[in-house]
Structure 1
């Protein structure tokens, strides 16, 4: 899941549905970024191993010159995490929003020993207090990996996200059958994973078997398409 983007071989058609689980693998993926149906920039998502049993996921979204004023299309995010009992457990999180006149940076720390998470930086005062953690809590960015891990036809998914000084619950429904997702000359057979408790604020992922990242991530508000990331290339990282 992306925030503030609300929480991202080729040339082959990928058939089948997503498996219930898959091993975490390093990769780098490239996306086209659309806004309201128009090509507005590009994005990259990367997962890399760190020292010990830690990992890092990074998302960079960059708008073209004409869309530079849109904060959602000029953002860098990262989460350092490990895995415990089959869950992605965030350890630290950072968000940098680029704007024409002023940028913003927020940094959070997940202290699992004390059971709290806390943010500092360019964040509202009412979001700086420590927040209680529960087993299974994630950052918004980690939802992009969780839906890959969990999606199966007809399944219902639930995630508790602690991110940028807020706690939010996300519920998703996975489509019973895959559908075709086409990006330029690429075609994927993918399960649609739709948020069911967002009201007028929707987030939809498309998950294809064998692909370690969502092949499409769409945000909709009041029934209108907003930011839309569409996968154009990915590769494993040795």
Structure 2
């Protein structure tokens, strides 16, 4: 026969269970990223052609600015003065980044290109303008842009995901891009030697591979992609205050 619990013991057990449930819920919630600065060596066909600086800055409650500045320092990129800057303002919403505005600017001695993307989440409308008239389409919850894609992917891996589907706002629509962890590999980059998870985009034939150490960095230690000129980025430094 099981002895009856006293009222005090019963209240204690209920309080303990409630505390455990609250702790479990807190642990399960994804935490917002901390501000940081990361620098990358930019390579093309094995030759260093530039340097990229990526920064994440908090600008308000649950709002951030994510900026990627690339400067040509070698080869043709230096010769034509090729520089790009991508700036995203995003909100931390439902435990993930969600784009509010995205601006892209590319300037060289012979070509300039600009793109502005803005999301009105009240009306769920995306507007994209490259100077030839605006394009409108419906947004999707959790949508990011091509600039914040590597960060969003790294944060998903940090939270334990091995297969990730990200809605990405491009010029005329939202793409549901699919990514999967393929293997854990040892690799060396200027920032050091790491055991990293290699992630591949699986819904296209355009090569995209990124290597992450999610326990240490929210951004990749190495990224190689065909889109944008077969570039490879290698992490040089990472600092989070």
- Structure 2: gaps of 5 or more residues: 1-28
From the superposition, tell whether residues 184 and 48 of structure 1 become closer, same or farther in structure 2 (CA, over 3 Å).
closer
Bigger RCO of structures 1 and 2 (CA < 8 A, at least 6 apart): 1
- Cα offsets for 1:33-76 (capped at 9, x unmatched): 001221111101110000232101001111225232899x6311
Provide the residue aligned with 2:63 in structure 1. Answer: 54
- Judge which range, 162-171 or 74-83, deviates more: 162-171
Provide the residue aligned with 2:5 in structure 1. Answer: none
Alignment of 1:1-238 (within 5 A): 23-68=32-77, 74-122=83-131, 128-151=134-157, 155-176=162-183, 178-184=184-190, 186-199=192-205, 201-208=206-213, 209-220=215-226, 226-237=230-241
Separation of aligned partners in 2, 1:89 and 1:185: 29
- Judge which range, 58-67 or 130-139, deviates more: 58-67
- Superposed CA RMSD in Å reads 2.5
Normalised TM-score (structure 2): 0.78
Contact 1:154 1:175 in 2 (8 A): no
Contact 2:50 2:77 in 1 (8 A): no
Contact 2:57 2:64 in 1 (8 A): yes
Separation of aligned partners in 1, 2:110 and 2:226: 27
SS in 2 for 1:118: strand
- Structure 1: gaps of 5 or more residues: 1-19
The structure with the largest alpha-carbon Rg is 2
The alpha-carbon deviation at position 154 of structure 1 amounts to 8.0
Tell me which stretches of 4 or more aligned residues in structure 1 moved more than 6 Å.
Answer: none
Name whichever structure is richer in helix by fraction. Answer: 2
The alpha-carbon deviation at position 226 of structure 1 amounts to 1.5
Normalised TM-score (structure 1): 0.79
Name the count of aligned residue pairs: 209
Separation of aligned partners in 1, 2:144 and 2:107: 24
From the superposition, tell whether residues 96 and 185 of structure 1 become closer, same or farther in structure 2 (CA, over 3 Å).
closer
